Structure formats: structure tokens, C-alpha cells
Amino acid sequence: MAYHLALLSSIILLLAAGTNAGGIAIYWGQNGGEGTLAETCSTGNFDYVNLAFLPTFGNGQTPMINLAGHCDPYSNGCTNLTTDIKSCQDKGIKVMLTIGGASGSYYLTSAADAKQVATYLWNNFLGGTSTTRPLGPDVLDGIDFDIEGGTTEHWDDLARYFSGYSGQGKKVYLTAAPQCPFPDAYIGTALKTGLFDYVWVQFYNNAPCQYNGGSSNLEDSWKQWTTEIPATKIFLGLPASPTAAGSGYIPVGDLTSQVLPAIKGSAKYGGVMLWDKYHDNQTGYSSSIKSHV
């Protein structure tokens, strides 16, 4: 009897652990040599794909996407991506449009400016209607905030406007990629709204909180993010190769034996985010970590 009870307890624990299994998010779009979006989704490795970037918007500018060598938005050449987006979504993969980036021309001047940007993105990439949809007619799953410049204000306004659209049919997912120093210098206030579904924190290019051969500083930062940010899930953002970022790369062995076991206990653990598909192709990082995430 005691044996059967112990066995039952073990099964329950395993089932409980299984419910906290994570997924992998990947950035795609900034290197024409990384393969197609459809190929990215066909690997079976990813649950979320962020299309990078829309780096021009706000302050009266016409929003413009930049998908590097994949297509030319100026000649309406990115509309054929709609088929790839649909193929990803048919596999259950959420596809977001990432706004911002490390370099770009974006700046919100007011709440009214934020509303204008939200309206444009809703009509041109989400569930609204427009005759000039840059990625074609397919409806993306949400907007990813990778804000690393411009202004520190009105990102909370932008999040609220997007969230308002969720009541108009298909849910609009809100995700973000803040830097690991807490709070994030640009979108710290926006993240406090509780409107974000997934937050993939960049634990790279940030020496104070990234992995340094031991997981203690990363673990301390992780605990702060998971306890103080009211998001549905928090992800560990990492470079997919040593050359994908200036610092913060974690060897597969260290990630699976030290880092993931230290952070997976959190109820808000969502998985791992990788920058980016091109570098993942070079290392096979996502394939190496998938069964551990």
C-alpha cells in the first residue's frame, strides 16, 4: 500500500512538473540567410516567433517594417509572407510583430501619438482593415515591445490601446523584451500595468544580471522579475550563439545543468527566448535545449 501511495505521489509530482514545461521563442527577420519563416516554424522547436522589426513609428512618422534581406517593404514585397505566417499559426505557433529594436527611429510624443500608432498597427497587422497591409491579409497574434531607445514615456498608453483591441474578437497578445537590469529603463512602467502576456527578459549584454559562469546573479535577477512583474509568463532571453551578442551566451551544458534547474521552480517560468534564428542555425542551440526547457 505504501509503495502504491509513493508511486502515486511520484506520478502526481511528475504531472505537476509537466504543467510548468516551457516553450522557446525565437526572433526572425534580421538576416536574409536564416531561412524562411515557414522553415523556422517547421522545425518544431518554437512556440513563438517574433518578426523583427518595425523600427520606424511614432512622432508623425509613417510606420515602416525592416525585414533585412527577406523582402522589400517599399515595393510591397513582404505581402507574400502572409502564407508563411498562416502556416506557422496553423501549427499553433504565435507570431508577433516586434516594434523597436536596438537601432531605429521610434519615439512616442504623447498618449494621442501612442493611440495613432496603435490604430495603425491594428489596421495594418492585426484584426483591423487596411488596403496597405505590409505583410498581407493574415492577422498576427500580437505586438512585441523591444524598446531600447527613443523615449521612456507613453509605452503604457500604447499597451493599453492594444489591450483594448482584444475585446474586438481575436485576442491581441502583448509581449516585451526588456533588459535584465530592473526595472527596465524604457518600458518599466508599461510592464507594471499587468497587460503583458509574455516577457522575455534579455539576460545578455548586461553584465550585472547575466550568467557569468555561476547562476547566482542571474538567479537573483530572475527572482526579481518573476515576483515584481505582473505578467503571465517570464522567459529567459539568451543569445543562440557566442557571436549573437556581446556577452551573456550560456553553453548548453551549463544552461541545462545549472541555470534551468535554478529558475524552473517559478510558477511564472515560461521558457527560453533566443536571439536569433540565424545564429540558432549556426549552433543548433534550440534543438539542443528543447527537451530541457
The CA distances from residue 197 to 6, 31, 78, 200, 250, in Å, are 37, 27, 27, 10, 25
- 546573479: which residue's cell? 217
| Integer Cα distance of 108 and 116 in angstroms | 10
Can you list the pairs that 278-282 forms with residues at least 24 positions away whose Cβ atoms lie under 8 Å? Answer: 278/30, 278/31, 278/33, 278/34, 279/239, 279/240, 279/241, 279/243, 279/244, 280/26, 280/240, 280/241, 281/34, 281/35, 282/240, 282/241, 282/243
Residue 148 is a catalytic residue: yes
Rounded CA gap, 40 and 84, in Å? 10
Rounded to 5 degrees, φ, ψ at 196 are: -90, 135
Alpha carbon distance 133, 154 (integer Å):
25
Burial of 166 per CB tally in 10 Å (0-12, 13-18, 19+): middle
Gap between the Cα atoms of 12 and 4, Å rounded = 12
Considering 34, 39, 148, 219, which one is annotated as catalytic? 148
Q: Is 112 helix (H, G, I), strand (E, B) or coil?
A: helix
Active site residues: 148
